[in-house]
Amino acid sequence: MIVALARIRLHIPAARSLKDRRAVVRKALDRVRARFDVSAAEVGDVERWQVATLAVALVTNDASLASSVLDRVTSMVASAVAGEAMITGRETHFESYSDDEPIGDDGLQEKLSHGDDEGHEADEA
């Protein structure tokens, strides 16, 4: 299993308010979500008018497919915001897990086998 993550930084020079900024970000995220089977969200400092950071994540069994999808997502973001913003940076990270490898420090299977409900108690209160 390959978990792929991209962080895309945008500069929005014409944004004069958070409303202007949100319109550009929303357009980019809506196009990415409509075209690709990925999770995408705005992350980072959301109070700066002319700067935005988007994150895109996907899970697959093929590292080359993950790389290709993240490249196409970056191209889609660039075309979606053309004339309004420009990409000033992109970082990618790939994490590989075997079928029986624990995920995280404690491992997902460990939590499931012990019935760890700590997170659910807070929701009920």
User: Tokens representing 123?
Assistant: 């929701």
pLDDT tens digit string along 14-62? 899 999 999 999 999 999 999 999 999 999 878 888 999 999 999 999 9
pLDDT tens digit string along 100-112? 777 766 655 554 5
Cβ pair 118, 22 in contact under 8 A: no
Q: Is residue 125 part of a domain?
A: no
Total number of domains constituting the chain? 1
Element (H, E) at 95: strand 86-96
Q: Is residue 123 part of a domain?
A: no
Q: Is residue 107 part of a domain?
A: yes
Residue 119's pLDDT is what?
A: 46
Q: Is residue 39 part of a domain?
A: yes
Instruction: Please give the model's pTM, rounded to 2 decimal places.
Output: 0.78
pLDDT mean across residues, the chain: 86
Q: Is residue 121 part of a domain?
A: no
- Whether residue 124 has pLDDT greater than 50: no
Q: Is residue 122 part of a domain?
A: no
Span 4-11, average pLDDT: 96
CATH number assigned to the domain comprising residue 8? 3.30.70.1120
Q: Is residue 43 part of a domain?
A: yes
Residue 101's pLDDT is what?
A: 72
- Whether residue 121 has pLDDT greater than 70: no
Q: Domain range holding 41? A: 2-115
Spatial neighbors of 90 by CB under 8 A, at least 6 apart, are 6, 7, 8, 9, 74
Q: Is residue 54 part of a domain?
A: yes
- Report the distance separating Cα 52 and Cα 33, nearest Å: 17
